[in-house]
Amino acid sequence: MPTFFSRILVSSAAVIAISLFTSACSSIPKPIGELASAKAQIETAETNDANHLAPVELDRAKTKLRDAEKATDEKNYVTAKRLADESLSDGKLAAAKASAARAQKSVQEMRDTVQTMGQELERVQKY
């Protein structure tokens, strides 16, 4: 059977643990910079035509940003920061995929131009 002293010790330890946990949670700052960076990256991706060239990644970034903003409103800053960081990464991926798709399209257009020029050169040389 636990003694009075051991119950007080366990109770005190529990109070200290709860106090430390609450103070640690309240010391996490609002992720304002992370949210702003994620928004800016999404805007960059949209400017790079990610709406058409990387819609899945862009949608994922927007969804995570909305979730991060909601978590911020609920003062769940740990989750908000994580989601904002993930949104930033997804936005970067969307922008990179859009850029790669545009580059691939340019390469194909150049190949088509070279092929057309070669055909035109052959036609001219026949005469």
Contact 41, 68 (CB under 8 A): no
CB-CB contact of 55 with 97 (8 Å): no
**Nearest to 31, CA basis, from 75, 92, 61:** 75
- Secondary structure (DSSP) of 21-38: HHHHHHTSPP-HHHHHHH
Place of tokens 């609450």: 22
Measure the CA–CA gap between 55 and 39, rounded to whole angstroms: 16
Q: List the domains of the chain with CATH numbers.
A: 31-126 (1.20.1270)
Closest residue by Cα to residue 69 from 39, 26, 25: 39
What pLDDT does residue 17 have? 65
Structure tokens at 107: 């390469």
User: Tell me, what's the pLDDT at 45?
Assistant: 96
pLDDT means over runs of 10, the chain (127 residues): 60 65 68 96 96 96 98 97 97 96 91 89 83
Tokens for 80, please give them: 């908000």
Which residues lie closer than 8 Å to 88 by C-beta, 6 or more apart? 34, 37, 38, 41, 61
pLDDT at 90: 97
Contact 49, 102 (CB under 8 A): yes
